[in-house]
Amino acid sequence: MGLCTSKPHANPTLSSSPNSNTHFTDTNADQQLPKNPIPTPKKSPLFPFYTPSPAHHFFSGKSPAPPTPRRFFKPPSPAKHIRAVLARRHGSVKPNEATIPEDEVVALDKNFGFSKQFEQKFEVGDEVGRGHFGYTCAAKFIKGQLRGQHVAVKVIPKAKMTTAIAIEDVRREVKILRALTGHKNLIQFHDAYEDNDNVYIVMELCEGGELLDRILSRGGKYTEDDAKAVMIQILNVVAFCHLQGVVHRDLKPENFLFTSKEENSELKAIDFGLSDFVKPDERLNDIVGSAYYVAPEVLHRAYSTEADVWSVGVIAYILLCGSRPFWARTESGIFRAVLRATPSFDEPPWPSLSDEAKDFVKRLLNKDPRKRMTAAQALSHPWIKNYKDVKVPLDILVFKLMKTYMRSSSLRKAALRALSKTLATEELQHLKEQFALLEPNKTNTISLENIKAALTKNATDAMKESRIPDFLASLNALQYRRMAFDEFCAAALSVHQLEALDRWDQHARCAYELFEKDGNRAIVIEELASELGLGPSVPVHAVLHDWIRHTDGKLSFLGFVKLLHGPSRSLAKPH
């Protein structure tokens, strides 16, 4: 079954020292294909995403392939030069930094405070999966209200916890599993136990196998309708995690299990060993994940929940066509493809698939995370929305955008209101759904209390850990007034996502015409620099010269577009 264990591969993975915070669980699976000389293909071979499960070797009595190394061991990597470049670029290599010799024993606290009653409560059965990090067994309760119930137990030997990072990974995994509760597409966590030798993470037993196995059993790809049924479940659980402030960081077909062998059984997200809490405005910088599914911004060491959505896009691409969107023989080649290559939508079966399906995948695989759809938005996409009755969850991006709007000047608010008036009915659909989830009153307005109530209704302990309630402090202005739907559209629309659409120029031009009538006014360069968050080191007169009309001192079209985007990260004063 492979619960919570990564697939083993024959060649080493990208790994690094704790100082560089780099960790990959996937690598070039094609090394396990027949050894006949194969010329470099233009596209991925049949089922290039498949790697045999270690469980197959276990039950056949054969020696398993070398398992995927995790953080605890640091073998050579075919992408070593990429690690070195990233380390130099981000300053993680310090000239006087000493390393600890491998043979030096470092005292580590491996007491987690978990219950020590594992043997008294469970009868352990067969091993069902194995990875370098540990192994997974079937088991059953032998006492209590759940007596006789079968479960899966992830066993993590303490002997393999050789670094403080390894110990913290286990502690955080349990903390996240314990905090994330109540979603039908999330693996159910029972409890964590420990003894002198191992940590035991007890979860529900899913007997339907991995999503990867289902893909293979279907000849490598799904029909559009069947793919929609899978994507709805994946997007629902990902949107749930993101609302709670949790980023998974290792989404791939191997990390989704079916509860049973039934064709329509529920899908469950598993393996939160690389997951982390992330605050709404926070950017993570450690490189983790699986090579074929890693987002470009992860390789650039500045990412958040959007990285998970990229991984979902890779899964969607595989479901629909049976090949990976980015493929190479080495990890460094994979990373170059992720950063530079454009996925092919010209080769079969793409020409026979709907335009909506292609648009759906393309918007998930946008290399700019600001332009990428969120998981909640993806559930509102026409390709998904037209399939049965899909309930759209709260979108954390809405609250991030509202925060920025509330902090904006009256001039930028006027620009955003003008832009919101250009949106077509279908473009407003997601905002209508989000506004309805905030349960406006009879006057069709919302206040801070509506937002608090909506978040409380959907909150888990994970939300408290990621400090999303603290994030509401930035919306305190709504404590004293109410917001109608028209203003909500201006506050919650994403300029960057609109910019990714083919009709962006038309939106911007129409919005500028409206802004000219109702909002444009004379502005000096210094004021505009303040609006855009430019620091004193920026030569504002040279940079902003063309953004203000010389005739009347008002914003030009270029200045209007820059104002819509708000403070520029590239030009803003560094923090």
Positions annotated as catalytic residues are 250
Bridge partner residues of 152 (DSSP): 138, 203
SS3 25: coil
Helix then strand count (H, E) for the chain reads: 24, 13
Amino acid at 51: T
Q: Dig out the tokens for 464 from the structure.
A: 């408290």
DSSP string, 138-189: EEEE-SSTTTT-EEEEEEEEGGG--SHHHHHHHHHHHHHHHH----TTBPPE
**Residue 565 Cα distances to 152, 513, 561, angstroms:** 48, 17, 7
Q: How many CB atoms lie within 10 A of CB 502?
A: 6
Q: Is the dihedral of CA 213, 269, 175, 279 positive or negative?
A: positive
Amino acid at 66: P
Count CA within 13 A, CB hemisphere, residue 121.
18
H or E element in which residue 515 lies: helix 504-518
DSSP string, 84-109: HHHHHHTT---TTPPPPPTT------
**Residue 198 Cα distances to 157, 476, 567, angstroms:** 4, 47, 50
Question: How far apart are alpha carbons 203 and 146 in whole angstroms?
Answer: 13
362 is in an annotated binding site: no
**Residue 305 Cα distances to 17, 312, 460, angstroms:** 24, 11, 17
Bridge partner residues of 288 (DSSP): 23
Question: How far apart are alpha carbons 22 and 372 in whole angstroms?
Answer: 24
Q: Dig out the tokens for 102 from the structure.
A: 């491998």
H or E element in which residue 123 lies: strand 122-130
Q: What is the CA radius of gyration of the chain?
A: 25
Evaluate whether 354 touches 363 at the Cβ level (below 8 Å): no
DSSP string, 455-514: HHHT--HHHHHTTHHHHGGGGGGGGSS-EEHHHHHHHH--HHHHHTSTTHHHHHHHHHHH
Residue 537's contacts (CB-CB under 8 Å, 6 or more residues apart) are 573
Q: By C-alpha distance, which of 72, 70, 76 is closest to 6?
A: 70
Classify 85 in phi/psi space as left (phi over 0), alpha (psi -120 to 50) or beta: alpha
Annotated binding site: 154
Annotated binding site for ATP: 154
